[in-house]
Amino acid sequence: MNKWDWSNVDDFMPRFWDGVLVTLQALAIGSLIAFSLGLVWAIAQRSTLIWIRWPVIAVTEFIRNTPLLVQLFFLFYVVPEWGPSMSPLATGIVGLGLHYSTYTAEVYRAGIEGVPAGQWEAATALSLPKTRTWTAVILPQAIRRVIPALGNYVISMLKDSPMIAVIGAFEMLGEAQAYSNETFTTEALTVVGVAFIVIAYPASLLLRALERRLVR
């Protein structure tokens, strides 16, 4: 084993920050996609129209039960053959967001089912329109109780984010691996390992604090 050499760390730093930026971008935009698309899935899965409900259930089940890695390859190599082609980073973000939207859909679904039937009945008794019932009564209650669960998926997404390196979106780990291969050193990998903890641990503390506030 080589001795620990700080000069390797210094040398890696510019690329490390590039990688951090990619990781954080993927995480932030990926979460936004996962949170909003998941909500769309969850509501569509409750549609009374079978030709909406059924395809959505089929597609989300399929995405949830196939590996993210396969989906990333598919989005990057297959989709451009007959559709839009995107940069590696954009593809990676869409892939992460889409994949995780099928998990957040389940979370929202549980949250929506957790709203007591009496709330729907009260809304009916007042003749509130469907959209108003969703936006003013059901979703505020459902989302409030699932925020901690959604947060957990942000942390899972952080841990899955290195996968987007396979299609060339070099986030932290991708940069570190490339650097290590070029220089035959290991310090960069250690730095990134620490970086994951430095991001994930405070995030989970934040989540737990949020949970204490919301779930009373």
Shortest separation between residue 131's beta carbon and another protein, angstroms: 10
**And the tokens for 131?**
């959209």
CA distances from 115 to 96, 99, 107, 152, 212 (A): 29, 26, 13, 21, 19
**Smallest distance, Å, CB 121 to another protein?**
5
Beta carbon nearer to another protein, 126 or 209:
126
- Comparing C-alpha atoms, which of 164, 174, 169, 194 is closest to residue 9? 194
User: Are the C-beta atoms of residues 46 and 27 closer than 8 Å to each other?
Assistant: no
If you compute the radius of gyration of the chain from its CA atoms, what whole number of angstroms results? 21
- Contact set with another protein (CB under 8 A): 116, 118-119, 121-122, 124-129, 132, 136-137, 140-141, 144
Shortest distance, position 214 Cβ to another protein, whole Å: 12
DSSP state of 3: P
The residue (of 103 and 108) whose beta carbon lies closer to another protein is 108
CB of residue 205 to another protein, shortest distance in Å: 27
Phi/psi at 47 (nearest 5 deg)? -60, 145
Q: How far is the CB of 52 from another protein (least distance, A)?
A: 17
Of 58 and 214, nearer to another protein (C-beta) is: 214
Q: Give 5 or 121: the residue with its C-beta nearer to another protein.
A: 121
Q: Which is nearer to another protein, 28 or 126 (CB)?
A: 126
Q: How far apart are the first and last CA of the chain?
A: 52
